[in-house]
Each structure stands twice: as structure tokens, then as C-alpha cells.
Amino acid sequence: MTDRAYVLFEEQQRARGIDLEQVKKQLSSLRIETPSWGYGDSGTRFKVFRKAGAPRNAFEKFEDAAQVHKLTGLCPSVAIHIPWDHVEDYGALRSHAEGLGLTIGAVNPNLFQEEEYMLGSVTNTDAAVRRKATEHLLECVDIAKETGSRDISLWFADGTNYPGQGDIRKRKAWMHECLAEMYKALTPRMRMLIEYKCFEPAFYHTDLADWGMAYNLALKLGPQAEVLVDTGHHLQGANIEHIVAYLIDEKRLGGFHFNARKYADDDLVVGSMNPYELFLIFYQILCAGQDTDEAVRGTVDNIAYMIDQSHNIEMKIPAMIRSVLNVQNQYAKALLVNHAEVAEAQERRDVLGAEDAVRRAHEFDVTPLLQAIREEQGLPADPMKAYLESDYGKSVMTRGKGGAGW
Ligand code: LRH
Ligand code: MN
Ligand code: MN
């Protein structure tokens, strides 16, 4: 590598005691799953702007996702959402994905769009509705078997809007009962990733409002149930990296849904507003990755990094490219933390020294490093530019308007 910027970067990092070969190895193994629903026409409750060229079905969503992987080398799997991505033959969808160099990732059941679920799905007072919801969960386990998916991500819109509207403790028991039935249907390699959200669409109480409730449920279900941290699902000021460190230490962090949190749930580009938070999340993960406890390291190795964004005004494929590049960027910066330096400062009880050792890593421009890696992997140095200069965006215009929404 003769690029001057990279030579300088290499010198600078070696002088700090950073093993760049190791950094490159870790960077090269980063995988970020993209969501099928991030490619289709989607939006907010106010308006969905229909875009020409939007994918019309699950097969076309995978074609768009393949572009993101082709240019970034980061996204070989795509999460699906059922029934948004319902197809007659999941084997055919799987072959289509594989033909594009992709695999089908997490299966996401949808328990929030049927009339019957207005007052809850797995927490509904009506046993017939809970049965219907459980059947859908079981259907998703079967789909996961066909698609070869390991993970089933569970997010529930369940909750109440007013005090007294529901019996909170009964709802808790019903949810546990339905999920325990689902748990029994899992194959040994499958995982249930349980997502929590502090509010919305219910505004008085959410049945799984925070990581503690999701963790408690996972504990009760068994070792194949883990917690999924959606970065958009916290109250302002929540220290997400603390939650991450805690869950890894308890060996129950299953994965992430990345997006940008401007209020609570939203679907804006991850890293666009608070990249330092993302960096600090990765810093905690990397700290845990050095743990002497093999089980903690095993948890770290199995974290599923996923994007959960439904872009409204953005161009879908470029927005997804931007998102995964932002994640890669912050991960690269976190890899530059000198952990020995932090430990020494902690030992000296040097508060500012420790903070400085962490923050300094964030201040490096990692562009030369990422470009070097992309060059080594035969990828475009600037994936966004490469996409915008490609004809793919134009070629999908034959699809016309009226694509698949969510
Ligand atoms: C709603 C939500 C949730 C799910 C996704 C499909 O909050 O964003 O995070 O994972 O829809
Ligand atoms: Mn989510
Ligand atoms: Mn969400």
C-alpha cells in the first residue's frame, strides 16, 4: 500500500502501539444485516412517498440489497418481515438470495397489523387472538427452517394507552405462555431475539418496555432467548453502551437494530446524529471481546448487527449504503482504542486520562484505513460514489411506481 495518507496513518497508529494487522482482520470480519423493509416504499404514519423504481416484492428487495453488499462487502444477509415478505415458496426466495451472493437473515414476525391485535397480540384478553398470534410465531419458526435463518427477531406493539385498560400482570403471563410455546419449536441452533421499546404505539405502558423486562423474559424462556437492543427504542439520555456491557456480561446480548434516535423509535440513518454513541457501543463490545471468560467472548462473537430503518424521504439504496458505512466507520475508530492505556489510567485513578484515551481514538480520520481495506478486497474505495455512478438506479426504473410497501 503506497497511498501517502495510509502510510502516515500506519506510522501514527504503530507509534500508539496499535496492531494494524489485527485491526484490519477485525474490520474485515464485520457483517451488518440489512432489512428488506428498508428497501421498499415506507414512511411515517403521516405519509408514504411512493418512489419510482421501488422493489415490487421480496425478490426485488434482495436484488437491491445485493447492490449494497456488492459495493461495501459488509452486508451478506437480509432480514425478512412476515407477511410483508410473504412468498409462496421460501425455498425459491432462498435460492434467489443465494444466487445473488446473499443469505436470508433474521425472520421478523408481524403481530401489529391485523385488526384483532388492536388491544394486543400475545397479551390479548381473548384466548383466540393469543392463539392466532402464537400460530404466526410458529409459522415464522417454520419459515426460518426453510430459509436457513438462525434468528427470529421479536418486537411486540403490545401495550395500553390508559391506566386500567389492561391487567399488566396477566398480560405478562400471557406473553410468557405464548413465547414458551414458540421456544419449544426452535431447533437447537435457532435464537429468539427479544426486542423492547419504551413507548409507541402504546403510550401508557408497553408490555416489554425496557432491557430488564426483555432480559427477564429471556432468562425464563431459556438459553436460546436473548435480548435485541434497538438503538431507537430508549428514552433520551439512556446510556445504551451501559446496557450493552451489562447484557454481554450476562451472556444475553443477541443483537442490535441500528438506527438514529432523535426521539424514541425512528428510522433515520444510524450514526447521522450521535456517532460517538455508536463508537462507545463498539468500545464496550471490544472490551468484552478481550474478556478471559470464554462465554463472554462467545457472546460477543455471536452478536447480530442489523440495521432497522425504513427510509421515508431518502433514496433507499444510498441511505442503506450510508448507514452501513457509518457503522463500519465507528467500528474502525473503536478498534483504535489502546486498551492498555485506558487500563493504566484507571489504575492511576486518572479520570481525565482514561476519558482521553477512549475519546482520542474517535478523533482519528479512518478514511485511509477503510480505503486500504476496500482496495485489498477489490471493493470501490468510495462505495457511495460508485453506486451513484452506476446504472443500477436507472435500471430499476422499469419497475415503475407502486412498489411493495410495508
Ligand atoms: C417498530 C419497529 C421495531 C421492529 C421493526 C420492524 O418499533 O421499528 O423496531 O424491529 O419495527
Ligand atoms: Mn427494531
Ligand atoms: Mn423500531
- Position 399 scores a pLDDT of 86
Question: Is the per-residue pLDDT at 36 higher than 90?
Answer: yes
Q: Report yes or no on whether pTM surpasses 0.90.
A: yes
Residue 194 alpha carbon to ligand 3 centre in Å? 12
256 touches ligand 1 (CB under 6 Å)? no
* For the CA of 267, the nearest atom of ligand 1: 8
pLDDT 10s digits, 155-207: 999 999 999 999 999 999 999 999 999 999 999 999 999 999 999 999 999 99
Q: Judging by beta carbons within 10 Å of its beta carbon (0-12, 13-18, 19+), is residue 276 exposed, middle or buried?
A: middle
pLDDT 10s digits, 96-124: 999 999 999 999 999 999 999 999 999 99
234 touches ligand 1 (CB under 6 Å)? no
Q: Span 31-335: which CATH code?
A: 3.20.20.150
- Position 269 scores a pLDDT of 96
Q: Provide mean pLDDT across the span 386-404.
A: 87
**Domain ranges (residues) in the chain:** 1-29+338-391, 31-335
151 touches ligand 1 (CB under 6 Å)? no
Buried b (16+ CB within 10 A) or exposed e, 164-195: eebeeeebbebbbebbebbbebbeeebbbbbb
Nearest C-alpha neighbor of 284 from the set 312, 303, 263: 303
Under the banding of pLDDT at 50, 70 and 90, the label for residue 46 is: confident
How far apart are alpha carbons 156 and 172 in whole angstroms? 12
Question: Is the per-residue pLDDT at 1 higher than 60?
Answer: no
Residue 240 alpha carbon to ligand 3 centre in Å? 15
Mutate to test the pocket of ligand 1, among 265, 267, 309 (most ligand atoms within 8 A of CB): 265
Q: Judging by beta carbons within 10 Å of its beta carbon (0-12, 13-18, 19+), is residue 367 exposed, middle or buried?
A: middle
Q: What is the ipTM of this complex?
A: 0.97
What is the grid cell recorded at 20? 494494524
Under the banding of pLDDT at 50, 70 and 90, the label for residue 45 is: confident
Q: Judging by beta carbons within 10 Å of its beta carbon (0-12, 13-18, 19+), is residue 302 exposed, middle or buried?
A: middle
- Percent of the chain clearing pLDDT 90 (strictly above): 90
Question: Is the per-residue pLDDT at 151 higher than 80?
Answer: yes
- Position 264 scores a pLDDT of 63
